[in-house]
Structure 1
Amino acid sequence: MPPLGTTRRSLLHAAGIGAAALTAAACTGFATTGGGAMILLSTQFRPADEAQRFRALLGRTAPGVSYVTVEEGPFSTQVRSQVGAGSTKIGLLAGLHGDLAPLAPKYLQDLTGLLIDLGNRGWSPDYLQLAKSGTDRTWYIPWATASYVLAAHADALEHLPSGADAAALTYDQFLDWAVAARRANGNRPMLGLPAGPKGLLHRFTQGYLLPSFTGGQITTFRSAEAVTAWEYFRELWANCVPASTTYDFMQEPLESGEVRMAWDHVVRLVHAPERDPQNWRMMPAPRGKHGLGYMPVLAGLAIPKGCPDFELAQRTITAFTQPDRQIALLRSNGFFPAVSAAIPQDLPPAIGLEADAVQRQQQAPGAIVSLPPVGLGQREGEVSKVFQDSFRSIVLGGADIRSTLDQQARVLQGILDDLKVPCWAPDPAAELCRVE
């Protein structure tokens, strides 16, 4: 998955800049405060405008640290090669959980002591558990977060089912809402989903629908409850705008009025309410039989083994986990706080709406943290394709659900067998991940 805020126009250009900067830094030894600046290597904020905004924040927060961005593959390769060679030039790492967890414990410093020193800053227990990467030690400090939520205009909100709480919908109520909105709109659907070529609809099935219906993502992929989930998805899709197969970013059809209710990543929704925020609402995803499955996009800060300036790296993490710096990051780059921080009233209205929805989703009773695939490296796209192909066959093509899931389960298991990786949340952390 691309970093938050990555756009189609900027991804390749920004990645090229990041790789070139990293190569130059490694060749020159531009690593410590004694010889220039310590390098903060990051998979996030790769677009040039986002990198520029973050560098300005970094300069105010931790002078003496240089920000270098790079794609996920080279990120892992650089850390492994430098630490493995005993010549670490990178001082600090910033990445998503899936970028950092595979590097622990072999390539990352144990930050358990730093976490204790930082005190109780209000981190979610789920995030602190993730930072342990399946061990009893802490390998990165949770830094910032985002997620996927529902967005709806007042035109759609008036069709909510009687007695339904928009902030605590069930999947049945969500479907009833979509049906009611369609019927009230002259049989024209109001609901849209990001099922375009660059859309993130596979995250909906991975992190929301299947965990809510089955309690898992991989181990329950072909279960009887998964069949029920896909039957539900067919009904929901029948009440979606047909053009959803072309939507990559839901903010565009929402803003134009083509769609009045949608689910997507917060970065891909944020522009829709800008003109008339008083007529918009952001809401947590619905809940199912097993709870409210949701996918947090958790970013963390880690220190590679052999870091050239361990004290500066720790001070930088300490600074960026202060509530005021967390809010500054929200203002500059749209990442939400990972610590307990009061959301100010003077944020852009759309970000304020999203912040409320993200917090409600995290704190919902029975919330199920469902991660994007972890430890798959460049093969993550193959796992995402399993979910995408299942959607195309079952929902768009009308294929038999049971036989499709059995077929796709074999593809999925083949990838997992090749990589020999453990499962990720919400599935049990078995040594080798298997579809049951």
Structure 2
Amino acid sequence: MTLFSKTFGAASAIAMSCAAVAAQADVLFWSTQARPAEEAQAMTEQVLSGFAGGVDYQPNEGGPWLTRLQAELQAGSGSIGVLGSLHGDFSAMNPDDLVDLDDLGVSSASATFNTLAKLGTDNMQYIPWMQASYIMAANKEALQYLPEGADIDALTYDQLIEWSANVHEAVGEPKFGFPAGPKGLKHRFFQGYLYPSYTNGVVRTFASDEAVTAWEAFKSLWEHTNPASTNFSFMQEQLLSGDAWIVFDHTSRLAQAFNDRPDDFVAFPAPAGPTGRGFMPVLAGVAIPRTAPDMDAAKELVKYMLDPATQIATLRATNFFPVVDVALPEDLPPSVKAAGDAVAKMSGSADANPGLLPAGLGDKGGDFSQVFVDTFERIVLANQDIRMVLDDQKGKLAAIMQESGAPCWAPDAASDGPCPVE
């Protein structure tokens, strides 16, 4: 028996087993999110218990999640009622395998997210469900040095550079902090923030003239960055110590600062560049496969997940933030309230330009990120010529894209086949 026939047989068996229980009363919510036992329990007891129809919440790793889904789609019937997963997982699917959800009358507060959820079609193929992201934070002592007329919730990169320069001059030392340490998430800043803000792309535009401008801007910012940033990984530590007054990091890596001293710090959106306010959402959505056994119940569950009260319950259970306009309760931890407000302003801004998590790279994901780390180290730390470095690194990036076969993701324009480095 061939490997293909073994796999096909296993998939068929899964599909038949699923079909046998398709008549169950509870809607099967098949999810890649909220997998840890504590989160899964909280989803069942705190989030989904209020759904009148009953929900069987089953979180799984990506592999088993996809295997069962594909088996049911192949068999033409099954038991999965609602799918929960990241945008990248849905974008890799055939839209014909998902039910159009325009008629539900629910969506996120972000027009950008709603466009992404159409997966290149004219209809909503999934509904944005919850989000996490990276944001900016600052010691309130730094606010007095903001450039004249600057709005902290709508900064540009030029204003961020000027602000950092003002602080540097006023206190006599550089106070911008950046997670450039070995465990820092610096690559996500370049992929999801700097490049989308200056080039409206990540892969296609990697070595563009606009990318040269982006790196020139970052070098200007680096002049006002604490040089010890090459050892910084969790910027909450530098906020609390005072080694940095203005920082960028993932919401979870800033939480301790806001929880320990909530009155000392402020969270705010990432700045905007010439091509928008680049930011990297970790965007999860809910969708309905065409094989759902009870389409009406599945649609009701999707609508339930977007209810403001459910969105708050989901935040408590998962630490993922709402995608709808909702007032955050006063009893949430200070870090959640501060970060949630900043994330909402960032994703809902008119110039929002999300740089999505890389998708389709397989085991080349680490190599992909290393290209951006190496580029940073050569241009910023070693002060090598920007054009020379980009032209050199361009070939490495192109090889990774060809070997992985990964198509482009937003904000790069869609591609047929591997995303080209133009």
Deviation at 1:150, TM superposition (A): 0.7
Deviation at 1:39, TM superposition (A): 4.1
1:222-252 CA distance string (max 9 Å, x none): 0112112112222322332333333333223
1:290-338 CA distance string (max 9 Å, x none): 2222222211012334334444432321211111111221233222222
Aligned residue pairs, count: 407
Deviation at 1:339, TM superposition (A): 2.4
For residue 90 of structure 2, the aligned residue among 93, 96, 100 is: 100
1:131-153 CA distance string (max 9 Å, x none): 12112233211111232211011
With normalisation by structure 1, the TM-score equals 0.83
- Tell me what 1:253 maps to: 238
Matches within 5 A, 1:9-88: 32=21, 34=23, 39-62=28-51, 64-84=54-74, 88=78
- 1:147 counterpart = 2:133: yes
Report the CA distance shift for 1:111/1:382 in structure 2 as closer, same or farther (over 3 A).
Answer: farther
Matches within 5 A, 1:408-419: 408-419=393-404
- Tell me what 1:338 maps to: 323
Q: Is the 8 A contact 1:386 1:412 kept in 2?
A: yes
Deviation at 1:377, TM superposition (A): 4.0
Q: Is the 8 A contact 2:47 2:314 kept in 1?
A: no
Report the CA distance shift for 1:80/1:74 in structure 2 as closer, same or farther (over 3 A).
Answer: same
1:161-214 CA distance string (max 9 Å, x none): 343322222212211222332343342x32222223333221211121112122
- Tell me what 1:374 maps to: 359
1:81-131 CA distance string (max 9 Å, x none): 55335574544321111122102325x32233xx31x22555422222211
Deviation at 1:282, TM superposition (A): 1.0
Q: Is the 8 A contact 1:215 1:290 kept in 2?
A: yes
Report the CA distance shift for 1:121/1:303 in structure 2 as closer, same or farther (over 3 A).
Answer: closer
Larger radius of gyration: 2
In structure 2, C-alpha distance between the alignment counterparts of 1:166 and 1:199, rounded to whole Å = 24
The two structures, once aligned, show a CA RMSD in angstroms of 2.9
- Tell me what 2:278 maps to: 293
In structure 1, C-alpha distance between the alignment counterparts of 2:45 and 2:271, rounded to whole Å = 38
Q: Secondary structure at the match of 2:258?
A: coil
Q: Match of 2:38, as an amino acid?
A: D
- Tell me what 1:124 maps to: 110
Q: Is the 8 A contact 2:29 2:56 kept in 1?
A: yes
Q: Is the 8 A contact 1:111 1:141 kept in 2?
A: no
Identical positions, percent:
45
Q: Match of 2:159, as an amino acid?
A: Q
- Tell me what 2:377 maps to: 392
Report the CA distance shift for 1:27/1:269 in structure 2 as closer, same or farther (over 3 A).
Answer: farther
Q: Is the 8 A contact 1:40 1:93 kept in 2?
A: yes
For residue 180 of structure 1, the aligned residue among 153, 162, 166 is: 166
Matches within 5 A, 1:205-354: 205-354=190-339
Q: Secondary structure at the match of 2:257?
A: coil
Q: Is the 8 A contact 1:208 1:370 kept in 2?
A: yes
Deviation at 1:421, TM superposition (A): 4.2
In structure 2, C-alpha distance between the alignment counterparts of 1:92 and 1:122, rounded to whole Å = 18
Gaps of 5+ in 1: 1-24
In structure 2, C-alpha distance between the alignment counterparts of 1:32 and 1:198, rounded to whole Å = 45
Report the CA distance shift for 1:419/1:310 in structure 2 as closer, same or farther (over 3 A).
Answer: farther
Q: Is the 8 A contact 1:156 1:190 kept in 2?
A: no
Q: Match of 2:93, as an amino acid?
A: L
In structure 1, C-alpha distance between the alignment counterparts of 2:223 and 2:63, rounded to whole Å = 38
Q: Secondary structure at the match of 2:145?
A: coil
In structure 1, C-alpha distance between the alignment counterparts of 2:343 and 2:208, rounded to whole Å = 29
In structure 2, C-alpha distance between the alignment counterparts of 1:104 and 1:339, rounded to whole Å = 27
In structure 1, C-alpha distance between the alignment counterparts of 2:287 and 2:107, rounded to whole Å = 17
Which deviates further from its counterpart, 36-45 or 168-177? 36-45
Q: Secondary structure at the match of 2:274?
A: coil
Deviation at 1:37, TM superposition (A): 5.8
Gaps of 5+ in 2: 1-13
